[in-house]
Amino acid sequence: MSGGARILVVEDNPQSLELVEFLLEEAGFRIVSAANGDQAREILEDLVPDLVLMDMQLPGTDGLTLVGELRRRPELRDTPFVALTAHALRGDRERFLSGGCDGYIAKPIDVGTFVDVVRGHLSPAESEGPR
Ligand code: MN
């Protein structure tokens, strides 16, 4: 994929979304964003992303509930879901992973490792991108 993998970012915090978009676009990924579950559902009617980055603290349907719901869509069965969360409570990581997330990134985002962590959840062909 010459244009890089397509990543859906579901994040209601504008500053956090701006940072995530900046880092991923600079790394050659194509970003589509949603601020809540309804927007994400609508986007996913037309798009099968290569990866979904999901804020766990969303207005309306919370992130983990949304992951559980979207996971049941056959076309998203093999799509990695990576949780983004400001909460770092004991047991959260296990709760997110057992709830259908493939990985977990804590906020505030570590700009030195963020892209590599995302890349690590993509298949080798998808993570190739312009440098
Ligand atoms: Mn949030």
Q: What pLDDT is attached to residue 86? A: 85
Find the 53 Cα to ligand 1 centroid distance in Å.
12
Q: What pLDDT is attached to residue 89? A: 73
**pLDDT tens readout for residues 24-43:** 999 999 999 999 999 999 99
Find the 1 Cα to ligand 1 centroid distance in Å.
31
Write the CA distances from 43 to 9, 54, 62, 78, 96, integer angstroms.
11, 14, 17, 18, 23
Q: Are 83 and 64 in contact (CB under 8 A)?
A: yes
Find the 41 Cα to ligand 1 centroid distance in Å.
17
Q: What pLDDT is attached to residue 2? A: 42
pLDDT (tens, 9 = 90+) of the chain, 131 residues, equals 446 899 999 999 999 999 999 999 999 999 999 999 999 999 999 999 999 999 999 999 999 999 999 999 999 999 999 999 986 677 888 899 999 999 999 999 999 999 999 999 997 777 665 55
